[in-house]
Amino acid sequence: MKSFGALFLIVITGLTTSWYSLLVVTADKLGPGNLNSSVSFAGEDIVVHADEGLAARGKDVYLEMGCALCHTQQVRRPGYGGDLDREWGSRQAVPRDYLLQKNVILGNKRQGPDLSNVGARHDATWLYVHLFRPGINSEVTTMPDYSFLFEKKELDITPSSNALQLAGNDTIEEGYEIVPTKDAEALVAYLQSLNLDYDLPESRRVR
Amino acid sequence: MSALETSPELRGTSAVDNSLKGPVLFLLISGAKWLILASILGYLVSWKSHNPGFLNGCELLTIGRVQAAYTTAFLYGFGCNISFAIGLWLIARLSGTPIGHGLVLILASICWNLALTVGLVGILMGHLNAFEFLELPSYVAPPLFISSLVFSIWGILCFKNRTNEITYAAEWYLVAAFLAFPWINLATKTMLFIKPSSGVVQALIASWFANNFLWLWFGSLAIAALYYLVPKLLSKAVLSYNLAILGFVLLIFVGSWMGAARLVGGPFPAWVITSGIAASITMVAFFVITGINFFGTLWRNRKSHSENGILLFVWFSSLALLISGLLTAFISLRGVAEVTQFTIFLDAHRFLIFYGVFSMAAFAVVYYMLPRLLERDWPMEFMICSHFWLAFVGTILLVVPLTLGGWQQGAAMLDATVPFSEVVRHTSYWMVGRSVAWIFLSLGHLGFIMHLFVMLKPECGACFEELTRIDSEKVEGTEV
């Protein structure tokens, strides 16, 4: 390896090979060219979930808040990891599930639980309280408060319909209420949309 | 280093050193500043991860953002600045070629650091990406790419115009690093941000990048540094140069495939994961080769050399390289990954590669390089050893608890009868170790930076005098 040419060739060939065979080929195999976002299965026409409307804005908030650094969005196959036993989903996640998402956030850390199906586990009220002060819902948690996604408002004659229902030590001073901001509403809409409540022909398959 | 004045190589290489003095010092000082910030952020992340009440409810300092900022400051701020500095110096020294147009390098450094500062502020404001090591907002990618390209071109041109007839193993790795860095950045950012690929392949692209960023950029540089320093410090050749060639080819052709192993169990075709696992296992051969050449050479000559701070860094880096490499293969196995995936075990592993292998080797080069560049010894030799021991204790205190805690976390997560809150509670105990570790690491960094500034004081003084002279001339000019 004395000449620059030989070195250059080795490095560029090596990198190009792994880039092409791993990324380009997979991008094609798992991309819209080879996978359809809609499919007929068990007599039903199924279209996989896309981030739309308020949920799409909520996904941006999810990214901005750095949620993805502690939460994953992938349910592993049966028999591998405890994802299904922990009831983080009723089936494994498959490539087609992510096809219509602009940003795919599989995540690689589980400081918190997987969120692929969080919309099926919790309702909006629970999610709002959890974002405001996670300690209320979970006795042990390392999740910080996202209280800055909420506003403290002076109480009108009738309380706002979306005001948080806080009890015990968590109640705030009288004459005030806590209401979610637009960002919190979008984030909760997004979290509620996370629900793989449909089956795909390949999702029952055990690899 | 007391024999520095009598070193014959010094006179022959002074032209090389002089050509690089400005850019290298600029990059080192920038790297040192980022290291301070990274230490603060690292401590903050660590503390917040087991004590979420700390600075709670502050949007800018939410743990996700601080963590992204920490990784960026540490890897791109400290890591890359130091990499450019030592990479350029090593390649110029080994090629025996002075580097031309140093001013362009300084401009590139300014561009790199400005873009990084903007990016870091962007992250804290929430403009972060959710991919590992790619957290920087995409709007700072072009200036970062252009400045890194300048460093790469300068490094490669220096090698092309070499006057030394022999080509050293260290040079292969340096050329590989300088070629790989722009390549992986361009490929990744095109496929993720310019023309985004749809679907899960995004995660594959990110993990391909993370692996190559760690091994082909930082790893290559660390290995180049060791191939340079081990023979220099021992005055003995490494055990097998033939194996070194095989190792190099393995790293390029097989090492670049390892990233996919991380995605095991995820929504990917089996062959993608299997390719990553097969690559990780094949790479054991590579780590055995580097183990023989670095650790073996050091061990064989352990009695023939006197104690010296730089050698301690080299020892540690060689050992960390062997351990982290074998761990890479171990955690790629499906049965093991089932436990370690998504846990703090992987944080420990990443840290061992970046800090234990790369940073330790980089510190060694800095300690070796500056006396030659400035033609004077370090003012406080004992500080080098103190820095090493603080870094050593810090690394052990960080890696060991996270490894054990990560294993426990993974095993508990596998058992669905253990409530998730229990998993969280147990894991947070282990993470206290990391906070203690950061105190040691930060003290080491503080010592390193203070020592660096004492060493550079005459340069800074001269620079300051020059500036004030220009200023006073200007003032006089206006008066006239």
pLDDT tens per residue, range A83-132? 999 999 999 999 999 999 999 999 999 999 999 999 999 999 999 999 99
Mean pLDDT of chain B: 91
Judged by CB atoms closer than 8 Å, whether chains meet at B159 and A4 is answered as yes
Restricting to A residues 110-139, those with a Cβ less than 8 Å away from any Cβ of B are 110-113, 134, 138-139
Start-to-end CA span in chain B (Å): 51
Q: Within 10 Å of residue B474's Cβ, how many Cβ atoms? A: 10
Q: What are phi and psi of B289, to 5 degrees?
A: -60, -50
pLDDT at B84: 97
A206 touches chain B (CB under 8 A): no
B249 contacts in chain A (CB < 8 Å): 10, 14
**Which of B48, B130, B413 is closest, CB to CB, to A63?**
B130
- CATH number of the domain to which B222 belongs: 1.20.210.10
**A31-54: per-residue pLDDT in tens?**
888 888 888 887 888 888 888 899
Distance CA B221, CA B223 (A): 5
pLDDT at A155: 85
Residue B184 lies in a domain: yes
Residue B464 banded pLDDT, cuts 50, 70, 90: low
CB-based contact A147:A132 (threshold 8 Å): yes
User: Would the pLDDT of B428 be above 90?
Assistant: yes
Average pLDDT over residues B331-338: 96
Distance CA B26, CA B34 (A): 13
For chain B, percent of residues with pLDDT exceeding 90: 80
pLDDT at B164: 81
From the options 2.60.40.4070, 3.40.50.300, 2.40.240.20, 1.10.760.10, give the CATH code of A46-193.
Answer: 1.10.760.10
Q: Within 10 Å of residue B53's Cβ, how many Cβ atoms? A: 11
Residue B471 lies in a domain: no
Tell me which of A185-189, B3-7, B157-161, B232-236 is least confident: B3-7
Distance CA B226, CA A57 (A): 49
pLDDT at B4: 41
User: Would the pLDDT of A206 be above 50?
Assistant: no
Judged by CB atoms closer than 8 Å, whether chains meet at A31 and B198 is answered as yes
Residue B305 lies in a domain: yes
pLDDT at A42: 79
Output the CA angle B427-B132-B397, nearest 5 degrees: 40
Average pLDDT over residues A174-186: 93
- B471 CB-near residues (< 8 Å, 6+ apart): none
Tokens of B97: 């070629």
B208 contacts in chain A (CB < 8 Å): 18-19, 22-23
Tell me if residue A178 falls in helix, strand or coil. Answer: strand
**Which of B184, B199, B265 is closest, CB to CB, to A95?**
B199
A85 contacts in chain B (CB < 8 Å): 416
**Pairing outcome for strands A44-47 and A38-41:** antiparallel
pLDDT at B475: 52
pLDDT at A45: 87
Average pLDDT over residues B25-38: 96
Output the CA angle B196-B113-B34, nearest 5 degrees: 105
Tell me which of A60-74, A191-205, B135-149, B382-396 is least confident: A191-205
Start-to-end CA span in chain A (Å): 43
**HSE-up of B133 (CA within 13 Å, CB side)?**
27
Mean pLDDT of chain A: 90
Residue B7 lies in a domain: no
For chain B, percent of residues with pLDDT exceeding 70: 93
Closest residue in B to A110 (Cα) is B342
Residue B2 lies in a domain: no
Tell me which of B309-313, B333-337, B458-462 is least confident: B458-462
Residue B119 lies in a domain: yes
As a three-state string, the secondary structure of B245-266 is HHHHHHHHHCHHHHHHHHHCCC
Tokens 């998402």 — which residue?
A101
Tell me if residue B299 falls in helix, strand or coil. Answer: helix
User: Would the pLDDT of B8 be above 50?
Assistant: no
Residue of B313 and B466 predicted with greater confidence: B313
As a three-state string, the secondary structure of B159-177 is HHCCCCCCCCHHHHHHHHH
Residue B469 banded pLDDT, cuts 50, 70, 90: low
Average pLDDT over residues A169-194: 91
Q: How many CB pairs under 8 A join A and B?
A: 218
Domain of B139? 13-458
Q: Within 10 Å of residue A80's Cβ, how many Cβ atoms? A: 20
Q: What are phi and psi of B24, to 5 degrees?
A: -65, -45
**HSE-up of B56 (CA within 13 Å, CB side)?**
17
Question: Cα torsion for B453, B458, B461, B467, to the nearest 10°?
Answer: -110
Average pLDDT over residues A127-143: 92
Q: pTM for the whole thing? A: 0.93
Distance CA B112, CA B181 (A): 14
pLDDT at B2: 39
Residue B302 banded pLDDT, cuts 50, 70, 90: confident
Closest residue in B to A139 (Cα) is B421
Q: What are phi and psi of B394, to 5 degrees?
A: -60, -45
Domains identified in chain B, total number: 1
